[in-house]
Amino acid sequence: MSENLGKKILSLVGGQDNITNITHCATRLRMRLANSEIAHKNKAKIESLDGVISVVEKAGQFQVVIGPAVPQIYDQLIENTDLTSSENEHTAKEENTNWFLKLMDVIGGIFTPLLPLFAGSGVFRGLVLLATQLNWLSTSSSTYHILTVASTAVFYFLPIMLAVTAAEKFKCDKFVAAAIMGALIMPEFMKLMGSTGNGTVVHFFGIPLVLMTYTSTVVPAILATWCLSYLEKWLRSWIPTNLQLLFVPLISLFVMVPLTAGVFGPFGVYVGEGISNVINWLMNLNGWVAGAMIGGVWNIFVIFGLQWAVNPVMINNISSLGYDYIVPLTCAANFGMAGATLGTFVRTKDKKMKAYSISALLSIFFAGITEPAIYGIGIRYKKPLVGAVAGGAVGGAIIGGMKAKAFAFVFGGLTTLPAFVGKTFIPYCVGLLACFVVGCVVTMVLGIDENNTEQAADKSDSVQPVSDESILSPISGEIEDLTQAHDPAFADGSMGDGFVIEPSSGDVYAPFDGEVTMLFNTKHAIGLTSDNGVQVMIHIGIDTVKLNGEYFESFVKQGDKIKQGQKLLHFDLNEIKKAGYDCSTVVIVMNTKDYQSVELLNAGKNDHGSATLKVQV
């Protein structure tokens, strides 16, 4: 994979200043953008990059599907920019994100960091169980007990871990959140229940509290941390800054520990138990039908990110009951996709796709990760996705009908088989084999249509250039070659050719007739497209996005038609410099590759409206 992939992605999504948040899961870079139009227009170009499987735009995120190599690409971006995975103060508003997508985003943010630990611990626990069933390990030995606590610690202390990740998502003190849930699983707290167990009533300053067992629970930690985030904000709004270090944690612990024990904790426990009971009721009612439905649609869930609504249920069942019925059905979907991938390998005549199919198949078998297959094969060719759905449904019916259980939360692959060792292990394996065979056969029978996919990567939504054009300077000041830009993201020309200007005035004028195709909320950058198809971005200053629009004024909005010489923006040059920011302004031709050359005509001191760039078709 190209070492420059991260750099290319960064350029095509609009550069560092356009990214308000970046993180990753097992297979995707997940970005929130200040202005998504740039990335949307370059979607086809991003998908055509070697190493990129697909691009998904949903839940207010721009997601680049890369596969198992995503951590390395993420590291490239973090190491070569000032980006972090935490959201900046200028995070774009999410007017178009409905409540359900926001909920999925929250759930994903809380559970994603823990998924590798769940998977590793699950396989670990399965191997321990397998060793005991084969009589390789005695349950009375100290070795067994040490391995058991090592493989199950994640579930015992799950409330503390969820408190930490939830605090990062809800933007509150993660150590206070961890301490709140830690208090509820301390031996001293557990002793209060005595022999009565769940439902024991004690009193806190005369207020009755119903005690519950919180080890291995899911919902209480999330509810408590969510409440803590609001309590913290309220406390910081009136406690003097120099006293917050002491009194915010003190008051938070004093309020939240008993409040969680008396309200959020019991409510969360009952919600978790209720969900588990409903799932078990459905499986007992008709496991064959439930299995076929879940196994068939799970890959569709993954496409739309809906699996995040179900993952907590599975984790809760494993934690509270010690087993789960849904995990095996998700594995059925995985093996259905694996079969469809093998069917694609057999039917395709494209050598590159054959190699990709093998890579995607190994990703499923050894890591339980299906996204490379789903996006690179299923969505691309459509018919393999039908095969995957058919395979998942058939195998899911067998697995659900036989009520196969998982004893750990894992991703479905060959390496995670130990997590299913038990009385239903053989039916589970039979179901997986059925998924794989049906998925493969259906895909081979339906075939794949390769005729309409070869040119897709070269398509773009951008306006195509139609003639040569001169670009006028939009600002008065000292003009230099782009290589002299103080921001290396622009200086190397990776985002396009152009020039840099040290402004002597804070007024920005239209360099041609055309349209405003992009305007950042912070007004520090504007994108224009000329009537002849030249796409220009004017980026004012370095890191001025952090001013969040202060000292900037806009006289146009996105979509407006503009005339050469029309005033577009004004920025207070003196105040921005006083705030410590470099005001050097970059003017670049975003679609440079569409032209034979972009030539700087006049360097040195220029007034706005002077011919500065020549763009030649």
What is the predicted pLDDT for the residue at 95?
43
- What digits encode the pLDDT tens for the residues 386-401? 999 999 999 999 999 9
What is the predicted pLDDT for the residue at 433?
95
What is the predicted pLDDT for the residue at 101?
61
- What digits encode the pLDDT tens for the residues 22-71? 887 656 788 888 888 888 888 888 888 888 877 887 767 788 887 667 77
What SS3 string covers 415-439? HHHHHHCCCCHHHHHHHHHHHHHHH
Q: Is 608 a catalytic residue?
A: no
Give percent of the chain with pLDDT exceeding 70.
Answer: 86
What is the predicted pLDDT for the residue at 261?
84
Q: How does the average pLDDT of the chain come out, rounded?
A: 81
**Residue 316 near residue 220, CB atoms below 8 Å:** no
Whether the pLDDT of residue 98 is over 60: the answer is no
- What digits encode the pLDDT tens for the residues 229-285? 999 999 988 888 888 889 999 999 999 998 888 787 677 667 766 766 776 677 777
Q: Is 539 a catalytic residue?
A: yes
Whether the pLDDT of residue 441 is over 80: the answer is yes
**Residue 68 near residue 26, CB atoms below 8 Å:** yes
Whether the pLDDT of residue 507 is over 90: the answer is yes
Whether the pLDDT of residue 337 is over 90: the answer is yes
Contacts for 574 with CB less than 8 Å, ≥ 6 apart:
none
> What sections of 21-98 are H helices per DSSP?
36-41, 43-47, 70-79
What is the predicted pLDDT for the residue at 197?
60
What is the predicted pLDDT for the residue at 93?
42
Q: How far is CA 206 from CA 102, 211, 252, 286, 295, in A?
A: 39, 15, 20, 48, 51
What is the β-pairing status of strands 19-24 and 604-606? unpaired
Whether the pLDDT of residue 218 is over 90: the answer is no
How far is residue 136 CA from its own chain's centroid? Answer: 42
Find the catalytic residue in 24, 25, 172, 435.
25
Find the catalytic residue in 24, 524, 539, 608.
539
Whether the pLDDT of residue 134 is over 50: the answer is yes
pTM over 0.75: no
Minimal CA–CA distance to 221: which of 148, 150, 271? Answer: 271
What is the predicted pLDDT for the residue at 431?
93
First vs last Cα of the chain: how many Å apart? 32
Whether the pLDDT of residue 588 is over 50: the answer is yes
**Residue 34 near residue 521, CB atoms below 8 Å:** yes
Whether the pLDDT of residue 461 is over 60: the answer is no
Whether the pLDDT of residue 462 is over 50: the answer is no
Confidence of residue 226 (pLDDT cuts 50, 70, 90): very high
> CA angle, corner 52, sides to 451 and 312, nearest 5?
110
What is the predicted pLDDT for the residue at 273?
66
- What digits encode the pLDDT tens for the residues 474-501? 999 999 988 888 776 677 776 788 899 9
What is the predicted pLDDT for the residue at 268?
67
What is the predicted pLDDT for the residue at 99?
63
Confidence of residue 199 (pLDDT cuts 50, 70, 90): low
d(CA 206, CA 428): 53
What is the predicted pLDDT for the residue at 3?
61
Task: Considering only CA atoms, give the Rg of the chain.
Answer: 28
What is the predicted pLDDT for the residue at 554?
92
DSSP category for residue 524: S
Domain architecture of the chain: domains with CATH: 5-92 (3.30.1360.60), 113-285 (no CATH), 291-297+325-456 (no CATH), 469-616 (2.70.70.10)
d(CA 188, CA 206): 19
